[in-house]
Structure 1
């Protein structure tokens, strides 16, 4: 049991590193070896967040296909959601991919108390990303009264 836990942590750390580097080949191999697409490293960073910050759309696609949830918050209060990360840096392709996989365009980071993805895109300023997010927000169904 302890050995499996250590192996899981090692694979998780390696997957986050591959995601940060945008290394799709290594990420694919680690996922095949059993790395969890959801498990954060020791710092709380999730693989999907790491790939989203870098705009590594190919790695993001791999992680989503392997079961990473698009709205999982990363870090210990110092990171955020994958969509906020991609929006902050203006990675329009990654934003499109996350939205296509169900990322919530109005979900605020910091457990609902921080900025929303559109806030980050507008602050950038990243006009293409802001337009994508504004369209996603406006196409959401209205909330029930």
Structure 2
């Protein structure tokens, strides 16, 4: 597949994730959309799915090769998918990310920001805190 077609598919993928259209996400991934390509603002599809608590879409993206720890840099959408899901207490999305290898101790902003556990505590989202601790998240001292 040529680069131009793959880029177009990836743009459509970002829109499908934003619209929470699981069927279209599946079709676009099958057609060759890049699950890691960010939109023009820098927001990755996995970040968008995670911040909205779309665990099934996150699972599709992860199965297609999206990195669970890739930071998004979109305006108002910066950080890791796990931090995004933890911030809003999206326990199912947190579970999915952890199952696919997301680092529960990875701080956003390239290691200088908050961790998923910090965000879950700020919620407060006790179920998410428990999931992260069970996965090995270490609280700040």
2:105–2:137 Cα contact (<8 Å) kept: no
Q: Secondary structure of the equivalent of 2:94?
A: helix
Alignment partner, residue 55 of structure 2: 57
For structure 1, which runs of at least 5 residues remain unmatched after alignment? 140-145
Aligned pair count reads 137
Gaps of 5+ in 2: none
**Deviation digits for residues 66-123 of structure 1 (CA, Å, limit 9, x no counterpart):** 1111001111585110000000110000101100110000000010011000000110
Return the match for 2:19 from 21, 31, 34.
Answer: 21
Question: What does 1:1-145 align with in structure 2 at a 5 Å threshold?
Answer: 4-75=2-73, 78=76, 79-137=78-136
Q: Is 1:77–1:110's contact at 8 Å kept on the other side of the alignment?
A: no
Q: Report the TM-score, using the length of structure 2 for normalisation.
A: 0.90
Higher strand share: 2
CA distance in 1, matches of 2:87, 2:21: 21
Greater Rg over alpha carbons, structure? 1
Q: Is the 8 A contact 1:86 1:94 kept in 2?
A: yes
Deviation beyond 3 Å, 4+ runs, structure 1? none
